[in-house]
Amino acid sequence: MMFPRYDTVELVFEGADRLPVGAEPPFSVRLRNGAEEIVVPGFWDGGTTYRVRVCPQSDGTWTWEVEGARTALDRSSGSFEVTPGAAHGPVRVAHRFHFAHADGTPYRPVGTTAYNWLHQDEPLFTQTVDDIAEVGFDKLRFMVFPQGGGYIEHVPALMPFEKTDGHWDVSRPVPEFFQHLDRAVEMLGARGIQADVLIFDAYDRGQFGLDALTEEEDAVYLRYLVARLSGYAHVWWSLCNEFDQLERPDDRWDRTGALLASVDPHDHLRSIHNWIEIYDNNQPWVTHASIQNGAATEDFGRANLYRDVWKKPVVLDEIKYEGDIPDRWGHLDGQELVHRFWITTVAGCYASHGESFLTESGSLHMVEGGVLRGESPARIAFLRGILDDLVVPGLDPIDKWDDPAYVAGWPRQQYVQYLGRSAPASWSFRLPVGQPGESPEEGDVFEVDVIDTWNMTVTPVGRRFTLTEVTRNEAFDRDSAPVDLPAGKPIALRITRVEV
């Protein structure tokens, strides 16, 4: 058999017995391709059927053999071929504060949220993916366990585990539930959307009782979930949304996060999202910070402080939502949410979208999904296009100490300056100077594009700028006339060095 690189390769086995799901997998498979080696856990998938899923990272002939089987299997070894393909592979941390696919292609997360999407019926389930893909979002945050509490108008019939004596039995997962989860993840991947999987549920609120699992039961479930989904290239792990709503000590979260890192053979991205108390994102199992903070994106110079603390990528996954409900987190207008996205961008961070308009069912899009209604999605997708067109790995604040313009970019290569919701009538060419050794030089030549962040236009200035003065903290073109701007509009500038 032949598979494209970074595709999911699935090996299917028939066992002699149906084994209860426990702390250890029913077997593992060791795969080799030259010097490359990976050990992947198997998982039970109903009856006496077992599976293994792996995402090969290199071309060539992969051989495999079963290890540690606790039931007799219908085969124990084999091989398959992996050839070059069009996929870019799993997303990893790159350049400390940013992301790139395994093949080095930059990835800029511009995602949205539908917590209870997995548990919706058709046509809403498929409609959600169709719409966010058409808009241009490239990541979706959703929960495995069903959501309870306010704005929940749909209670699913299909649950993840069977019950024994009135208690959820994690040793008996419901295959149909997890097969539906598989299809959901596959559907996102087919549309180019990263699946940001929220593993535990702080929104059960006692309605289902899935928040009452013990730490040992959590571990059994987590191992099973990772075995099923790790082989998909486009999976991200989020341990919990608003983890601090659950009454669990920090060291339990520490241990669970460390377990997640240890059992995932593909080393996917890992985070945990806060409500009020921010988690210690210095923990080694955390690959990037996932933050809820509405105030951090209201003004310049706030969000980038998180980068300085953790030295990791920062994704502000909840900065309030565009919507029409009275809750303080759910009634931003579209212009304000887009404004916050741009502030986050020039802080060297990333943001997530959410929509909280009341739906016909009495729920919200950020709960159930469906067709987006707001003004912000198209403008946020436009921002994604600007980020994807960058010629640098990402945007970092150039002078964090005291740059009144809050310019971000890559020193001496490319810069983005956001002028806010109301631009001045003109702009004179000026760049901040970063750390020693990163300074632009006199004679450097740049081109400038004027970006209307709301009307979604990019207009080249049409003339070049040459640095005539470089001081310790700033660089100028003193000879060129100022650039005329549409005063009062939300405007950004893209400043790119060119070779002459």
| 61: β partners | 81
Q: What does the pLDDT read at residue 1? A: 84
Map tokens 């080694």 to a residue: 284
Residue-wise pLDDT for 227-242, tens only, equals 999 999 999 999 999 9
Residue-wise pLDDT for 271-318, tens only, equals 999 999 999 999 999 999 999 999 999 999 999 999 999 999 999 999
Average pLDDT over residues 77-104: 97
Q: What does the pLDDT read at residue 145? A: 97
Q: What does the pLDDT read at residue 154? A: 80
Give the pLDDT band of residue 8 (cuts 50, 70, 90): very high
DSSP helix, strand, coil percent of the chain (3-state; round to 5): 20, 30, 45
Measure the CA–CA gap between 196 and 140, rounded to whole angstroms.
6
For 10, 199, 252, 253, 264, the CA distances from 144, given in Å and listed in that order, are 22, 6, 20, 18, 17
Residue-wise pLDDT for 11-54, tens only, equals 999 999 999 999 999 999 999 999 999 999 999 999 999 999 99
For 303, the token pair is: 């969000």
Q: What does the pLDDT read at residue 493? A: 98
Q: What does the pLDDT read at residue 243? A: 97
CA 203 vs. chain centroid, Å, equals 20
Kindly report each contact of residues 405-409 with a partner whose C-beta sits within 8 Å and lies 24 or more positions away, as own/partner.
405/430, 405/432, 406/300, 406/301, 406/346, 406/347, 407/346, 407/431, 407/432, 408/345, 408/346, 408/347, 408/348, 409/495
Taking 90 as the threshold, does the pLDDT of residue 436 lie above it?
no
Contact (CB, 8 A) for 178 and 123 = no
Q: What does the pLDDT read at residue 151? A: 83
| CATH numeric code, 91-388 | 3.20.20.80
Q: Above pLDDT 70, what percent of the chain?
A: 100
Average pLDDT over residues 123-134: 97
**Average pLDDT of the chain to the nearest whole number:** 96
Q: Tell me the domain boundaries of the chain.
A: 2-83, 91-388, 396-498
Q: What does the pLDDT read at residue 348? A: 98
Map tokens 């903290």 to a residue: 473
Give 224: exposed, middle or buried? Use CB within 10 Å, 0-12, 13-18, 19+: buried
Taking 80 as the threshold, does the pLDDT of residue 437 lie above it?
no
Measure the CA–CA gap between 21 and 223, rounded to whole angstroms.
9
Give 372: exposed, middle or buried? Use CB within 10 Å, 0-12, 13-18, 19+: buried
Q: What does the pLDDT read at residue 153? A: 79
pLDDT: is 435 or 495 the higher one? 495
2-83: CATH superfamily: Immunoglobulins (2.60.40.10)
Map tokens 């949220």 to a residue: 113
| Coil vs helix vs strand at 64 | strand
Q: Which fold has domain 396-498?
A: Immunoglobulin-like (2.60.40)
Dump the DSSP string for 117-154: GGGPPTTHHHHHHHHHHHHT--EEEEESSPP-STT---
For 478, the token pair is: 């003193």
Of the candidates 35, 85, 44, 87, the one whose C-alpha atom is nearest the C-alpha of residue 63 is: 35
Would you tell me how many other CB atoms lie within 10 Å of the CB of residue 73?
A: 17
For 79, the token pair is: 């091989």
Q: What does the pLDDT read at residue 52? A: 98
Contact (CB, 8 A) for 220 and 172 = no
Taking 90 as the threshold, does the pLDDT of residue 438 lie above it?
no
Q: What does the pLDDT read at residue 434? A: 86
This prediction's pTM: 0.96
Measure the CA–CA gap between 423 and 109, rounded to whole angstroms.
27
Dump the DSSP string for 357-374: PBPTTS-BHHHH--S--S
2-83 shares its CATH topology with 396-498: yes
Q: What does the pLDDT read at residue 160? A: 98
| Coil vs helix vs strand at 251 | helix
Q: What's the one-letter identity of residue 278?
A: I
Backbone angles phi, psi at 415, to 5 degrees: -140, 150
For 55, the token pair is: 């995402």
For 498, the token pair is: 């060119």
Contact (CB, 8 A) for 194 and 109 = yes
Q: What does the pLDDT read at residue 320? A: 97
Residue-wise pLDDT for 314-353, tens only, equals 999 999 999 999 999 999 999 999 999 999 999 999 999 9
